Structure 1
Amino acid sequence: MVDMTQSPTERGALARLWAEANAIQKIAALIGIALVLLAVFAPLIAPFDPLKQSLISRLRPPVGFDRHKAGFWLGTDELGRDVLSRSLYGLRLTMMLAMLGACIGLLLGGTLGLVAGLRRGWAEDVIMGAVDLQIAVPFTLIALLILSIFGSTLPVMVAVLGIAGWEQYARIVRAEVRRITGLPFIEAARASGGGLRYIALTHVLPNIVSPLVVQFTLALSNIVILESTLSFLGLGVQPPTATLGSMVGYGRDYMPTAPWMVIVPALMIILLTFSVQILGDWLRDRADVRLRGR
């Protein structure tokens, strides 16, 4: 019978990749895996309904402190809701928004960068002009303007996060396309009658996957920070639905008396951005042949 599991070569490659990672990268990978599992299985792990209120149990501290209430391991908030349950669901929503935003940015920026690199002329000028404009204006101000006009609904929030950072993808793809299209095999494809779409899908895209994957991981941490900032300012996902940023924002008024309301979600934000950033740097080092020998 044929073994459908991983081949020895694949297992060896994964083992070698893990062995080449330093201690910080291994810790970041383990933290990232743990956070993903917590987010995916939040409905099974959370001990309580994150929206369930109990004013009798409000502002109870975590386990180990006076006035702790059994079952509420990380304490409760101002409405008696379980901080652990809300943090798990907040992590789940924050990661979902970050993934959706990064995917939209990848598709939008990658497509425009591909068009700019292949078409040249006025199309390239318009696209790169839009890139320069977004770089020149702080995106937080753009996000605040959009959310104040169209409201803080979930679709608007996803759209705002999606257009955050698209210019980075566009610049990377355009530069890589212009480099690749000057190589001999592209000239050979053109000489053999290959159209623009055929060249883009068959020859160009497979050769720019690596930098796009690296940029995708780096963009995730930036989107998490942006979402947390907007939610902290009250312009993100509206209550009672919680994200990590909104939990920090609403808990800041209770810092002197109930610091756990802020510490728990803030720690999750720090761990999430730390793991994604370190893994993004790791992927960049692995993808760039000039950095492998260092």
Structure 2
Amino acid sequence: MILRQNLSPAIVGCFCVLSFLTVLVMAAPWLSPSDLSEVNLLDRFRPPVFMGGTWQYPLGTDALGRDMLSLILRAIQVSLTIAVIGTIGGAIVGTTLGLVAAWIGGILDAIVGTLVDFQATIPTLILILALITVLPSADFTVFVAIMIFHGWDRYARLARAIALSAKSQPYVQAQQIMGASTFRIITRSVLPNAMAVLLVNMSINFPQTILAETTLSFLGVGIQPPDVSLGLLIGIGRDQLFNAPWVALMPGFLILITTISISVLGDWARDLVEAD
């Protein structure tokens, strides 16, 4: 189906951008020219080559003289890893709860429905900030687990609606009469029919997860030094916008093109699903 579509230059460009970023994420440890802990105060605020700098530091340095190329490569790796795991984890948790609640019904359905309504009434960032506040530390693993909460309710709501609709369909009722197990019906019949809608929702939720991680790191409650993320780099560089704008603008540009690319591909995927 995809191969028959007339791919516009914008779609191809977005594919290329995301493919390039994927390569950077996978090869970041080998592409980084220096260690993140390598500090050289004599080389602080060196400009990038496109602003009159030298190829010793192609993307310049920060306030501690650290190589911005190494920092950005690590930041891309951290931010996109958190976004991918958070999006997939939220999709798994929300979809599972939605399908099981709709199929079993009763008290479980009421509990899941209450949690979904509660999540919808309170901004997700407020909940995440509350969780970070009560937890003893917010290292990478804990932060990834927290980001799973971002958007799980939308998956649960979609999966529940699809499961409730499927329960009344003849093909599902026929499988129940033939003695098929609930697990087999859900995994073989209900879930495949829901995958297209859930994948489109993932493409919408992914840039939102990136922006949520960026916001938290910018506020200083996300990824903590000595590790680094795109949001943390923007937070570090906000005080040097006039004398060293590249520290904040380059990670900001990466966030911009990443979220735009994913949003464009998400709209394209939604159009494909609606066309079917």
TM-score range (shorter-chain normalised) is over 0.9
Match of 2:132 in 1: 147
Q: 1:104-253 maps to which residues of 2 (within 5 A)?
A: 104-150=89-135, 151-253=137-239
3-state SS of paired residue (1:132): helix
Letter in 1 for 2:4: R
Does structure 1 residue 51 correspond to structure 2 residue 37? Answer: yes
Between the aligned partners of 2:34 and 2:181, the Cα distance in structure 1 is 58
Residue 288 of structure 1: CA displacement? Answer: 2.1
Residue 179 of structure 1: CA displacement? Answer: 1.6
Number of aligned residue pairs: 275
3-state SS of paired residue (2:268): helix
Match of 2:56 in 1: 71
Match of 1:84 in 2: 69
Unaligned runs of 5+ in 2: none
Match of 1:41 in 2: 27
Residue 69 of structure 1: CA displacement? Answer: 4.0
* Counterpart among 65, 76, 87 of residue 102 in structure 1: 87
Between the aligned partners of 1:59 and 1:261, the Cα distance in structure 2 is 9
Between the aligned partners of 2:187 and 2:104, the Cα distance in structure 1 is 14
Between the aligned partners of 2:27 and 2:2, the Cα distance in structure 1 is 25
Return the TM-score normalized by structure 1. 0.89
Larger mean CA deviation between 83-92 and 39-48 belongs to 39-48
Letter in 2 for 1:255: L
Question: What per-residue deviation string (whole Å, max 9, x for no partner) do you get for residues 207-254 of structure 1?
Answer: 111112111222111110000000000011100111001000111011
Whether the 8 Å CA contact 1:176–1:208 is kept in 2: the answer is yes
Unaligned runs of 5+ in 1: 1-12
Residue 48 of structure 1: CA displacement? Answer: 2.2
Letter in 2 for 1:198: R
Letter in 2 for 1:280: G
Letter in 1 for 2:109: E
3-state SS of paired residue (2:184): helix
The share of aligned pairs that are identical, in percent, is: 33
Between the aligned partners of 2:148 and 2:80, the Cα distance in structure 1 is 13
Residue 96 of structure 1: CA displacement? Answer: 0.7
* Counterpart among 263, 271, 276 of residue 277 in structure 1: 263
Between the aligned partners of 2:187 and 2:51, the Cα distance in structure 1 is 60
Return the TM-score normalized by structure 2. 0.95
